[in-house]
Structure formats: C-alpha cells, structure tokens
Amino acid sequence: MPEAQAGVCLDGGVLKVWGALDAQGVLMVRGQGESFIRSGSGPLTVDLADSPDAHSAALSLFLCWQRCAQSQHRPLHFINVAESICSLASLSGVHHFLSGFAGEGH
C-alpha cells in the first residue's frame, strides 16, 4: 500500500506535517514549511503525529527548518517525533539541535 503524499500546513502556532517524509516527500514540503516559518513570529510547534515513518531525509528537513526558524528568531519545537527518527538524530549527533528530540524519553 503506498504511503500518503507528504504535506504541511500551518494551524495557528502549529506546523502540521503528514505523509511520507522520504527523499521525494522532503523536497515537496521543505519550501512550503520555510515559507510558513518566515510568515509569522513567536514560537512554533512542528507536529509529526501524522508522519510516523520518517526517512533519514526528514532529519535534514528538520535541521533546515530549525536553521530557518533561528534566522527569524522563532523558537521551534518538535512534538510526536517517531522513535526511529529520534534514534537516527541521536546516532548522527544532531538531536541536541532539535527541540523535542533530546532528553525527553528518546
């Protein structure tokens, strides 16, 4: 069964991500997510509840979004992060750069 196409939308202060965050999916949502990050101010939460099977390419996406948010002085926090992507972030040594990945039961 094919996975759902990746997407992202902004709902208040929550950036909701869904679908397959594989190499193709990441390309589809990166620019749109960065536009949402640049469009507002204040803290932003990235909800990954509807994208439970993130590919390693998703880690690069999250780091890009983090860099974009930092350039806009917007705190970015990830919630509902799949254990597999938390483990990959930890193994890669980048979990400390992503709020919601480090020291919260992962």
* Average pLDDT of span 84-100: 91
Q: Which residue in this structure is represented by tokens 């620019």?
A: 31
List the structure tokens of 24: 């193709």
* Average pLDDT of span 89-100: 92
In a domain, 62, yes or no: yes
List the structure tokens of 79: 């919630």
**Has residue 106 got a pLDDT over 60?**
no
Give me the CATH number covering residue 16.
Answer: 3.30.750.24
pLDDT per residue as tens digits for the range 2-11: 568 999 999 9
| Beta-bridge mates of residue 11 | 14
In a domain, 90, yes or no: yes
In a domain, 39, yes or no: yes
What DSSP line would sit under 39-76, residue for residue? T--S-EEEEEEE--S--HHHHHHHHHHHHHHHHTT--E
**Has residue 22 got a pLDDT over 60?**
yes
Count Cβ atoms within 10 A of the Cβ of residue 71 and give its class: 0-12 exposed, 13-18 middle, 19 or more buried: exposed
**For the chain, what is the domain count?**
1
pLDDT per residue as tens digits for the range 27-66: 989 999 999 999 999 999 999 999 877 788 999 999 999 9
